[in-house]
Amino acid sequence: MPRHLLYLIVFIEGFCSLGAEVIALRRLLPHVGSAIVVTAPTIGLFLLALALGYAAGARVATRYAEVVARNFQMAALLAGLGLARVTVDGLFAAVQPSWAASLLLIGGVLCPLAWLLGQTVPVLTNLLQHTRTGEASGYALYWSTLGSFLGSVSLSLLVMQWLGVSAAVLVCALLLALGSLLLQPPGKPWPLLMSAKVLAIGLASSLAHLYPAHQVIDTAYADYRIEPLNRPGDINMRAFLINNSLASLIDDSQPPQYARYIQHLRQIILNELGLSAKDILVLGAGGFTLSHQEPSNRYTYVDIDPQIRAIAEQRFLKQPIQGSLIEDDARRFVRHTSRRFDAVVVDVFSSHSSIPSHLITREFWQDTRRTLNPQGVLLINLILDGRLETPYARNLLATIESVYGRCAVEVLHKSKPLSNVIVSCYHSSKAGPVTPYTDEQNRADLDRASAD
């Protein structure tokens, strides 16, 4: 085999193996979130399968090009079919709990794909004749790792951003099918037909989402879907779903009806706080309904997905948003901005009830405090258990109050297992020590007098 062709095959292997891992992590996001307990096992199992593939490739002693061509064909099928959105969504719809479906996706698609592609370098280095072992393996690993680098960067920052996740699946399936074709010996039609068949299947499965009947819009950050709802008294009610979770509601009545937590936040901002001609920062755009038909204040939204505005305006609101959008990570924005706001609304979720872990730490809440004016207020929408009894609910609220002191906590759906919880904190309040009142030492009267 010509050396340049071997290096091209190894490059494709690296590109597609790490590309498949990036795609798998993105496919898991709408269903199980992006917490470290999801990403770390996924990466670990992927690396384990890759290591086992290296060992399996080291044992191959004959038919080197044929073995790699077969592996590429099988990997193309796994990528094109197994990582297609219809497959992943169907798996999570059929298998519960979600962690079991996640393990099936990782163990049934990602790990076999990594095992197959992991055999490529040890197998093909046997074809580098008249070359020192160290030189052969070194250059092969160089091209494989270079492919991994370019695959992870280009698929996540270019293909997914501009064309969507399914386009990234298609790129991997096409490259693997191409690699299989390049490895076929001349004059044998059956391998060529098999590669063409694999290519057609991968192409069909990867492009299935493009038909107009499919209303899911995927970007590098989330899956978006707008669904109609039939509720008594509402006019053309529609739901804006992000990563399979309800983010916003709106209908065409006047005034429009919104999700209950949005109506509650608007009540606090406009009626209870009486804010008018003020600057309001909203971390997490959702469906932009907080400022919808609300011209009395100046709203600035921060969201990491640059495409969310166009999706919301064209398909959900059906009109331009009220306010401006800054495309940035919420944590990075509040840490570096020099602007100050009269109110900050935190409404950030990666999936249902799942807040990105870097947006719930004490350091994050300290950064949000920096962005408030001296009389400013922080409003937080959380999804917690209705009784606030879980360790997550207790610890999250305690983390917020360790920065802001005592905050108001309102549970909107007390009878439900999960509820919107609105937390209101003031810049002027401070965290401090507390002393419980007891029969032996009761300072209630003194404390009340000092507060008057």
Specify the CATH superfamily of domain 257-426: Vaccinia Virus protein VP39 (3.40.50.150)
106/116 Cα distance (integer angstroms):
14
What residue spans in the chain does CATH classification 3.40.50.150 cover?
257-426
Q: Which residues contact 42 (CB under 8 A, 6 or more apart)?
A: 21, 24, 25, 28, 106, 110
Write down the pLDDT at residue 183: 85
The answer to whether the pTM exceeds 0.85 is no
Write down the pLDDT at residue 190: 54
Going from the first residue of the chain to its last (452 residues), give the mean pLDDT of each consecutive group of 10, the final group possibly shorter.
87 95 91 84 95 94 90 90 88 90 95 96 83 79 93 91 87 89 69 57 54 65 88 87 88 91 95 96 94 95 93 93 94 94 92 78 94 96 92 94 94 89 93 83 81 67
Write down the pLDDT at residue 130: 60
Write down the pLDDT at residue 195: 56
Write down the pLDDT at residue 199: 59
Write down the pLDDT at residue 213: 39
What residue spans in the chain does CATH classification 1.20.1250.20 cover?
3-209
Phi, psi of 33 (to 5 degrees): 80, -170
SS3 content of the chain, % helix, strand, coil (to 5): 55, 15, 30
Give, to the nearest 10 degrees, the angle between helix 64-77 and helix 189-207: 20
The CATH class given to the 3-209 domain equals mainly alpha
